[in-house]
Amino acid sequence: MQDQSVTQEIDAIIAKVDDWRGDALSRLRKLIIEAAPDIIEEVKWKKPSRPEGVPVWSSYGTVCVGETLKSAVRLTFPKGAHVKDPTKLFNIRLDSKSVRAIDFHEGDPIDAAALQALIREAAKLNVL
């Protein structure tokens, strides 16, 4: 069962970003939760430069991390290099031996089905 205080923390992180990035992160969050219903939301890495922390979605380990950047919303997959990406959603950190990420920019379409397939694949890696 999801901790309501964590849900509220992530709600606050999203609400703090009052432009398209907040809307995008909210939509991505919904897609992540729909893709893997057993996924757990967490807030990690609270530090002076980001006191509210960063939303993290886990299932037997981190599946992905959501961040708002100046001109993008980034989903980072710690094991992304091992995730099948037939639709080529990953567009950042492509040279890493482990991590892959997707930057979404204002106006970018979100391929919900392809993203949810990545989420499910990434979650499966944590139990193998």
**H or E, element range at 82:** none
Identity of residue 107: G
Q: What is the pTM of this model?
A: 0.92
- Looking at residue 2, what is its pLDDT? 60
pLDDT at res. 51: 82
The confidence score (pLDDT) of residue 37 equals: 83
Q: What element of type H or E holds 28?
A: helix 20-35
For the chain, 128 residues long, the average pLDDT of each consecutive 10-residue run is: 80 92 96 93 90 93 96 97 95 96 96 97 89
Q: Terminus-to-terminus CA distance in the chain, angstroms?
A: 23
